[in-house]
A and B are shown apart, each in its own frame.
Chain A
Amino acid sequence: MAKRKRIGRWNDIATRQAVYQTDAGLEIDEIDHFEINRKRVFYDDIQLVTMHRYIGVWFVVTMLVFGIGFLLIGALIREKAAVITFGIIAAPFLIMALVRVIARIDVITVFGKRSRARMRYTFRKSYARRIYAEISAKAREAQRRLAAEIQAAEPPEAPPLTDEVPMPPAE
């Protein structure tokens, strides 16, 4: 089996995916309990590669709700120790919300003919850009090679028919 390199992940509430790069394309391993479902997007099948940034409003809202909630609990108890304790508990939630708003998430989506691969990067921005460029370049190269192969396999054009039909030599 071809050697492969993990280049990204896509995890949410319902899905856990790891994306690997091979010589022929991308392999998407979807982890389903103790089974792995593998899909592939081959470079010569890629139709579209996109990259965009998003914050994830629901994530930020959830983190803020938890963070502010813990701060409120500490404030309601009105004891110094409680305020400090709940402040410490609330801090990671507020920091995560702040980091998400500042850093945002870079998402690369690769659309093939039959399946797609998605990867997200929170901190490694330059790596994400490099992967985006690399996938695009490899797809371009694979499709150029395939087009050349198809063209090479085409039969040579038949010679055009002429009006003059060669006749057998007269006896």
Chain B
Amino acid sequence: MPAARVSSYHGPVCPACNAAIEFPTMRDGEQTCAKCGTTFEARVFHPPQRSARVLQLAQLGPDGATSCANHARNAAVANCERCGLFICSLCEITIEDGTFCPSCFDRMSKEGRVAGATTRFRDYASLAVTMSILSLIMFPLTGIPLGSLSIYYVVKGFRNRDTATASKVGLVLALLMGLGGIASGLFFLITIIAPKLI
């Protein structure tokens, strides 16, 4: 799996020149960047902070709760649905499929089993388009293999429509070009190569 990119994002800046802005004191309406002088319209938000309430074992007493496997002082509030570990509200990760501990969530997202946590995808649509173009351009040599490959990528592109960058039209176009590449390759093989061999 390729390493994740390191982001250099540091929060709101001037949208035109990326210079620092006085965000904490900013209000809705027209703003002017002090550095580049660009005037921009702004809508400011103050997103509420989520905070996890952690139950301490001491609050509940030794008979009242079980301790978290990762934090001995915290009371467990759930079990990981994958490994059964007792977890506190700090460790608890709730997704569509259930509640998991951090290590199980990490493993599952690395395996690509958590749809919402996947951030890298293969772009089958671009692959299909590239292969089909190459199959047409170099049809005497690669028309049949690359044309077949482009059809394979078109099928994969249609199956993974939610991650595809090309539209349906693009995929259909790639399919037609791939078929064209195969046809050209076959035509070249039958009309030019085969008579010489026979």
Contact = CB atoms under 8 A, between A and B. Distances in A.
A143 interface: yes
Contact of A18 (B39, B42, B122, B165): B165
A1 B39 contact: no
Interface residues on A, range: 35 or more
Given A46-B45, A47-B45, A54-B38, A35 B15 contact: no
Nearest to B44: A48
Interface stretch (B99-107, B113-121, B186-194): B113-121
Q: Is the interface of B mostly helix, strand, loop or mixed?
A: loop
Contact of B15 (A34, A38, A107, A143): A107
Interface string B86-126: 00000000000000000000000000000110111111001
A118 B5 CA distance: 18
A38 B112 CA distance: 14
A153 B51 CA distance: 10
B45 A35 contact: no
A143 B45 contact: yes
Nearest to B9: A115
A84 interface: no
A113 B120 contact: no
Interface of B: 2, 5, 7, 9, 11-13, 15-16, 23, 26, 31, 38-51, 53, 115-116, 118-123, 126-127, 130, 162-163, 165
6 closest A-B pairs (Cβ-Cβ)? A52-B40, A109-B15, A111-B12, A48-B12, A147-B48, A36-B121
Interface of A: 1, 4, 18, 29, 31, 33-39, 44-52, 54, 107, 109, 111, 113-116, 118, 132, 136, 139-140, 143, 146-147, 150, 153, 155
